Amino acid sequence: MSFYHAANSLARSHSIPFAIESVLTEEGLPALEADWNRLSGNAISPNVFSTFDWFRSWMKSLRQEGQGSHVRPNVLLLKQDRAVAGIAPLVLRQPSRFGFSLRKLEFVTIHADYNDLVLGRNSEFETEAVIEHLARTAGQWEIADLRDLRDTGNTIARLERALVRARLHYRLLPENDRCPYLPIRGPWSETMPQKHLLDTRRAFRRFQEMAKEGFRVRFVEKPQLEPGLLERMIVVEAQKHVDGKLSIPVLGKYFEVFQTLFNTLGPSGWITVGLVEQEDRLVAWRLFYRCGDKLWDYLTAYDHTYANLSPGKVLIGSAIDHGFAKGLRELDFLRGEEAYKLRWTSGFKQNHRLLIWNRRLKSRFSASAYLKLRA
C-alpha cells in the first residue's frame, strides 16, 4: 500500500485536525473495507455508488479491460486520532492523445448516477481537508473532473467555500441530464398524475387478465440467493431496444461487476430486483438500489414479445406499491429524462459537474480545453 501523509492545516485553524493518507494501489483497497462500509452505512443520505464494493468492483473491471495502466486508485483517507473519519473515493486517470498526456482525478465510473465524498458527521471540516489536500498536491494532477455530484443539502456550497479558501480555480456546471423522482405517498393509483392514470389502469387490467396464464410480478430483495437470476436478466437485456435500435448492454458487458454487486451488496439490502414472469420465463425486470428510504430505478429491460402487456408500466406501478408497503418515501428514476419517466412525475434533481484546476500552466491549459468542449 502506498501512502501520502500530511497534517491538515485545519489543525491550526479549527479544533478538528485531520491527517490524510492516499491509497494508490488496488492492493491497498481491502484494508479500507470495514471503515468504508461503516461510513457508507451511517451516511445521512446513503449512496450505493459511493460504497466500497461499488468502487472495488469497477476498479477490477477497468483492470480486466486493459485500462489498469491508465487508471489507478487515488483514494483519500481522512483520519482523526488514527480513526478514519471520511473517504474521497477518487481515481487518477492518465488519458493521452496526440502525445499530450493529462493526469485527471475523477470518480471511478460513468455508470454511477450520483457521486459523493463519503464523509462523517464533521462534513464541513472534512470537505475542507480534502480540498486543501488537492491544493497541496497540485503538482500531482492537472484536472479534477468530478461528475454527477449530488447536492444533499449544502454539499455544493461546502465544496465552493473550501475551493475559495484553498485558492483553487474551479467551474461548477449543471449536468445535462436531470434525475426525475417521485415522492411515494401512497399506492401508484394515488400517486400517478391524473392525465396518465387511465392508461396505466388499462395496462394493469390487461396484466391481471393474464394472471390465469401464469403471469406474475415479484420483488427479489436478496438476489444473491436466486441462482441464475443475473443470467436470465442478461438474456432479456440482449434484445433491448432504445429508439428502435438495439441498445448497448450493461449487465451483459459487465457481468462480473454485477454478479459481485449481487453477492456483496445484496446481503446488506442495497439491491432489489423487480420481475415480471410467466411461470418460469422472465418477461421483464427492473434493477433497483435501495438507499435508505429511497428506491433508485437503475436499469430495466423487457421481452418485446410481450410489449402489449406494458410490462414497464406494470413494474413501475408495482415498485411504487412495494416501496409504500416497505415504508420508503421516494422512487428516483436516476439520470435521464426519458418520456416514460415523465409520465410519472414532474419533479427533478439536478446534479453538477465540478471542474477544478490549479495555477500550473498545463493545468490552466487543460481546463480551458475542457470548458471549450463543454461550450
Q: How confident is the model at residue 4 (pLDDT cuts 50, 70, 90)?
A: very low
**Average pLDDT rounded to a whole number, residues 240-262:** 90
pLDDT band at 34 (very low <50, low <70, confident <90, very high): very high
The string over 197-225, giving b where at least 16 C-beta atoms fall within 10 Å of a residue's C-beta and e elsewhere, is eeebeebbeebeebeeeebebebbeebbe
Mark out the alpha helices in the chain (DSSP H runs): 10-13, 33-41, 52-64, 123-136, 155-166, 188-191, 194-209, 229-237, 255-265, 311-325, 339-342, 361-374
Confidence of residue 86 (pLDDT cuts 50, 70, 90): very high
pLDDT tens for each residue of 39-56: 999 999 999 999 999 999
Beta carbons within 8 Å of 155's beta carbon, 6+ residues apart: 116, 123, 127, 149
Which triple of cell numbers denotes residue 345?
A: 412525475
The pLDDT of residue 246 is 82
**Number of CB atoms found within 10 A of residue 240's CB:** 20
Q: Which long-range contacts (CB under 8 A, 24 or more apart) does 306-312 make?
A: 306/276, 306/278, 308/206, 309/203, 309/206, 309/207, 309/210, 309/215, 309/276, 309/283, 310/203, 310/206, 310/207, 311/207, 311/276, 311/283, 311/284, 312/284, 312/286, 312/340
Neighbours of 183 (CB within 10 A): 11
Rounded to 5 degrees, φ, ψ at 256 are: -65, -35
Strands 215-220 and 241-242: unpaired
pLDDT at residue 6 greater than cutoff 50: no
Q: Which pLDDT score, from 0 to 100, does residue 9 have?
A: 40
Write out pLDDT tens, residues 255-299.
999 999 999 999 999 999 999 999 999 999 999 999 999 999 999
Residue 338 has what pLDDT? 94
Mean pLDDT over 189-204 rounds to 90
CATH 3.40.630.30 fits 179-349, yes or no: yes
Q: Residue 206 pLDDT more than 50?
A: yes
| Res 191: pLDDT | 84
Whether residue 143 has pLDDT greater than 60? yes
**pLDDT at residue 13, rounded to an integer:** 43
Q: What is the mean pLDDT of residues 218-235?
A: 97
3-state secondary structure of 44: coil
Tell me, what's the pLDDT at 357?
Answer: 97
Region 129-146: mean pLDDT is 96
Note the pLDDT of residue 367: 93
Instruction: Provide the pLDDT confidence category of residue 76 given band limits of 50, 70 and 90.
Output: very high
pTM above 0.85? yes
pLDDT of residue 68: 59
pLDDT surpassing 60 at residue 15: no
Q: Write down the domain spans for the chain.
A: 5-175+351-374, 179-349
Dump pLDDT digits (tens) for 287-317: 999 999 999 999 999 999 999 999 999 999 9
CATH topology of domain 5-175+351-374: Aminopeptidase (3.40.630)
pLDDT for residue 375 = 61
Is 179-349 the same fold as 5-175+351-374? Answer: yes
Q: How confident is the model at residue 12 (pLDDT cuts 50, 70, 90)?
A: very low
Q: Is the pLDDT at 179 greater than 50, yes or no? A: yes
> 332-349 pLDDT, tens per residue?
999 999 999 999 999 999
Mean pLDDT for all residues in the chain: 91
